[in-house]
A = this chain, B = another copy of it.
Amino acid sequence: MSYLKKDTPIPEPMDCRILTAALNLFVEHGFHSVSVHDVQKDANVSIGSIYKHFGGKEGIAKALYYHLLNEFEEMVNDVTEEDLTSRERCNKIIALLFSYTESRRNIVSYMLYAKHREFLPDEPPICSSAPFIAMRNIVQQGIDSGEIRSGDPWVIAASVFGGAIRMIHLRLDGVIKEPLTEFYDEVVDCMWQGMTPAAAPGREKRRAAR
Contacts and interface: CB of A to CB of B under 8 A. Distances in A.
A185 interface: yes
A175 interface: yes
Nearest to A204: B196
Given A154-B170, A162-B167, A190-B159, A118 B30 contact: yes
The binding surface of chain A is classed by DSSP as helix
Interface in A187-201: 187-196, 199-200
Nearest to A207: B88
A169 B113 CA distance: 11
A190 B88 contact: no
Given A31-B32, A126-B173, A155-B163, 5 more contacts: A158-B187, A159-B191, A185-B208, A188-B208, A193-B196
7 contacts: A125-B173, A151-B190, A159-B163, A162-B162, A162-B165, A193-B196, A193-B199
A118 to B, nearest CB: 5
- Residue among A155, A196, A209 having the largest count of chain B Cβ atoms under 10 Å: A209
A152 interface: yes
Nearest to A205: B189
- Residue among A91, A205, A208 having the largest count of chain B Cβ atoms under 10 Å: A208
Interface of A: 30-33, 84, 87-89, 91-92, 95-96, 113, 115, 118, 125-128, 149, 151-152, 154-156, 158-159, 161-167, 169-170, 173-176, 183-196, 199-200, 202, 205, 207-210
A189 B202 contact: yes
A91 B209 contact: yes
